[in-house]
Amino acid sequence: MPEDPATSSGGCEVIELSFVVNGEPVTLSSDVRVSLAEILRRDLRLTGTHLGCEHGSCGACTVIVDGLAVRSCLMLAAQAQGADVETVEGLARGDELDDLQAAFREHHALQCGFCTSGFLMSLTARLREGPVVSEFQAREALSGNICRCTGYVGLVDAVLSLAADSGKEPLK
């Protein structure tokens, strides 16, 4: 039988990491060269964070670190030492979607859903800075992430719906 795939580090230097993910402290050992995205996905099995380009362009891997939206593909896990990390898995309260997630569903802001987590985290960080009230502001807030499915229409509408209570009866 081949060796256990999970064990070999290939001689890479290993460090001990401690940080907080979605409010829970975690401690683990990691190859120094590994990205934060890799640790979240592989070691912590928080697979909602996706890797779309691994060169910091598409934004699918966006998470919030100490309050700032960052590309977890470009950030080494070692840089998250002691940090407070928020991922898409931390948004909903149990089974109940948060307002932004609910707005995404209501406005068909996702199709394949691969980029969705990144959009949610970028927007979550942006909305904490203040409301998005115009279409231009919404597009600006969305412009750091790429979606190939929706043409951004539903995303813009979802963001704007949070600014003002539309008063519309939601469709089923």
Partner 1 sequence: MSQVETTATRHVGTSMRRREDHRLLIGAGKFLDDLDFGACYEAAVLRSPYPSARIRSIAVERARQAPGVVAVFTAADLGPILQDLPPKVTHPSLNRQPRYPIAVDAVRYVGEPVAVAVASNRWLAEDALELIEVDYDLRPGVGSTASALAEGAPLVHEASDTNVAVHIVQQSGDPDAALRTAPHVLRDTFVITRGGGHSMEGRAVAARYDRAASQLTVWDATQTPHYVRHMLAALYGMTEDEIRLIAPADIGGGFGPKAQFYGEEALIPWIAMHLGATVKWIEDRWESFISSTMERSQTHRMEIGFDDDGRILVLKDVFEHDQGAYCVGLQVPTITMSTLPGPYKIPNIHSELIACYTNMVPTSSLRGAGRPQAVAATERMVDRIAEHLGLEPSEVRRRNLIQADEFPYAVGLRFRDGSPLTYDSGDYPALLDGALERIDVPAFRTEQAIARREGRFLGLGIGMFVEGSGLGPFEGARVRLTNAGRILVTLAASPQGQGYETVYAQLAADAIGVDIEHVEVRHGDTSTIPFGQGTFASRVTATAGPAVHEACLRLRAELLAAGAVALGVDPDDVTLGGSSVSVAWAPERTVTLQDLAAVSNMGRHGMSVDPRMPVAIEATAYFKPLRAVYTSGIYAAVVDVDVETGMVEVVRSVLGHDCGVVLNPMIVDGQMYGAFAHGIGNALYEEAAYDEDGQPLATSYLDYPLPTAMEVPRPELFHVVSPSPLNSLGVKGAGEGGLIPVPAAIANAVEDALRPFGGRVNRLPLTPARVLAAIQGTTRQ
Write out the binding residues for partner 1, residues 121-140 only, by CB under 8 A.
138-140
Among 1, 129, 165, 169, binds partner 1 (CB under 8 A): 1
Among 147, 160, 161, 162, binds partner 1 (CB under 8 A): 147
Alpha-carbon distance of 116 to 122, in angstroms, equals: 10
43 is an interface residue for partner 1 by CB under 8 A: no
The pattern of x and - marking residues 97 through 126 that bind partner 1 according to CB under 8 A reads x---x--xxx-x-xxxxxxxx--x------
Q: Which is nearer to partner 1, 46 or 83 (CB)?
A: 46
Which residues is 15 bridged to in the sheet?
30
The three-point CA angle 108-56-79 to 5° equals: 115
The three-point CA angle 22-164-67 to 5° equals: 25
Q: What is the dihedral of CA 103, 154, 46, 65, to 10 degrees?
A: -80
Among 15, 43, 44, 57, binds partner 1 (CB under 8 A): 57
Q: Which is nearer to partner 1, 42 or 128 (CB)?
A: 42
Neighbours of 121 (CB within 10 A): 28
46 is an interface residue for partner 1 by CB under 8 A: yes
